[in-house]
Amino acid sequence: MTRHERADIRPVEEDGAALARYLGVSRETAGRLMRHVDLLRRWNARINLVAPASLAHVWERHVLDSLQLLDHLDPAAVPAGLDLGSGAGFPGLVLAIAAGIPMTLVEADRRKAAFLATVI
C-alpha cells in the first residue's frame, strides 16, 4: 500500500493533527491543504472549480489523487513544475504545498486564477 492510496479520509479531514499523520506530512502542510479545500468548498458554488458531485469527496478524488504523484517522483530532483489549466489547483498546488516543489500555475479563466491567487 502506498502512502497516498485512495482511502476514506473523512474521519480525519477536520482534525489537522490526525490529517497530518494520515497523509504523512507536517501539521503546517496539513493546515495549508485544509485551507485549500476550505476555500475550494466556499468558491465552488460561484465558479464551478470541480464537479459538484465530487466536492463531497474532494480529499479522495482530488487531494489524494494529486499526492499519488509523489509516489513516482523525487521532489528533490524536480527543480520546478508547470501545471497548465490549473483550475482548482490539482495537482499543481497540492504538490507545491505538500512537497515544496516551486510550481507555476497557468489558468486562462480569470475567476479560477483569482481562486488560485487567494489560496496562495
Question: Hey, where are the domains in the chain?
Answer: 16-119
pLDDT confidence bin for 25, thresholds 50/70/90: confident
Q: State which H helix or E strand residue 31 sits in.
A: helix 27-47
CB 31 within 8 A of CB 13: no
pLDDT of residue 1: 34
Q: What rounded mean pLDDT belongs to the chain? A: 89
DSSP state of 50: S
pLDDT of residue 49: 97
User: CATH for 16-119?
Assistant: 3.40.50.150
CB 116 within 8 A of CB 103: no
pLDDT tops 60 at residue 15: yes
pTM above 0.75, yes or no: yes
Hey, what amino acid is at 73? L
Task: Give per-residue pLDDT as tens, 70-114.
Answer: 999 999 999 999 999 999 999 999 999 999 999 999 999 999 999
* Lookup: cell for 75: 521532489
pLDDT of residue 12: 63
